A and B are shown apart, each in its own frame.
Chain A
């Protein structure tokens, strides 16, 4: 069946929907519980919330279950869900200084005020398979748990950007297309309080806490205007939902790269970066080429044939068949 059937588009879609469900379940293993995804696919949930621009671990986990782990599709679901929710309030500006820190490191200052806190990190582990995980049983899990207790728009766009997209552009800057050698001044993972103003008396009211990753990178320099032309360090800033260090660092690098006054590299162009890092837009457009293009292609054929005919007759203003 072609996918522009004279009749049967409805039926084909219905079958496709059933097949998706079939392929998700055909292995016969017990269905994943949303709660399990939320708890054990912590970083995937955080990434989906960040790219989806909606802080809701439950919805992110459900989206990941429904999309079989496709992060771009999950982000799309979260954003579409957010479109149906009226915006009843805007939060007060979040103060990262109030962060309940889970992880905090500085590569610039060994004795950073407040100290370094390694937190949950795989950075200094060997990436060897832990084959024991293949046999992980309830008993062990329980035993373990009981033991342990106009920059705003740029930053918003980057915060919802795709991790991989930010990485590619930031990496290009690190490798010499542009020149940001970042030193990580501060990298922190933790919970920040979120407040909205009370509609009556305007006092800030705590409505919840969100997990964020925050990065500040230092880079040379710019001759600052107010410093007599002397070189100074400049700062790039990144903050995103959830525990996603790669994204926060790349965001900060790009934020800094885009401040380059005479930047020529792609990563230094605000227009270039911001228009191309959105996962929902980029993936949606890349995949839309699957849609039928019969009419447009027919129109292309018409033009190619017209040029071919002209070439055959050798009557173009120049030798058109070259």
Chain B
């Protein structure tokens, strides 16, 4: 008898099925995920169930996680890079209460990582799955408000309106102003919203080792980027895609100059400093630096 099995039995005994959803609901999610993997970047409608978490607070990612997770999995949940963000804590607690699985903050140890708006700085492997929560799966939303017309545009690969919007941006502002959630083309076919990850994270999706699954609970759509799939941001030949710039800033905690940094301001002096958004990456670097300093 293993601890995870005992814990799982305990969870079931409290009146809820393993991983909360009933098995039919989980099967529905898995079937749609298989279709999503088979058609990279394509939004697949699914029968999105309500969870005891507010709609729009990660219920799509959570359904993916709940449908996939087994007693042997190790789970990591992050929100905007942080394991300790209150919503991440709450989502993680729901999964552990109903499954009894082990959790971790170390991105290297997790078999399933559920995330909102960040891809971990740590390189992920083919033994891991990254589940991203999706507020809005539709990259064309702001150029076409009608769902029927948007579906036709996807079906026909007609993304002219999106290109025009980027061009108008350049004409008006001199820059493409899309910040996070930068539109990408998957496998040279579907236009996809990579979720509001910063542009910094977009290159990590390109020909990755890891399976990326995207769940939009409120909008009832799933999509996927399988390993080794081309994921290319829309860009003009003479105005290449660029990630966020941090100049010569470094993380004030771990000293990193190669990670996405959040600015913070000193309450007294107003002085600006930066800290890694990925708390796991940052803490492991800071701990390693401490060990190096103490080494004889």
Contacts and interface: CB of A to CB of B under 8 A. Distances in A.
Interface stretch (A5-13, A107-115, A186-194, A256-264): A5-13
Interface string B236-249: 00000000110000
Interface in B162-214: 170-175, 177-181, 196-200
Interface string A279-322: 01101111110011111101111110011001100011110100
A43 to B, nearest CB: 23
Q: Which 5 A-B pairs have the closest CB atoms?
A: A284-B55, A316-B174, A79-B50, A285-B56, A284-B56
A86 interface: yes
Interface in A266-288: 271, 275, 280-281, 283-288
A287 B173 contact: no
A211 B115 CA distance: 43
Given A84-B21, A284-B55, A299-B199, 10 more contacts: A9-B88, A13-B86, A76-B52, A271-B146, A275-B147, A288-B56, A292-B82, A302-B244, A302-B245, A303-B175
A12 B93 CA distance: 14
A307 B173 contact: yes
A311 B79 contact: no
Given A288-B57, A298-B198, A84 B20 contact: yes
A292 B79 contact: yes
11 contacts: A4-B82, A13-B89, A85-B22, A86-B24, A275-B147, A287-B56, A288-B54, A292-B85, A298-B263, A299-B179, A300-B179
Contacts of B86: 3-4, 9, 12-13
The binding surface of chain A is classed by DSSP as helix
B148 interface: yes
A283 B54 contact: yes
Interface residues of A, number: 52
B229 interface: no
A83 interface: yes
Contacts of B116: 291
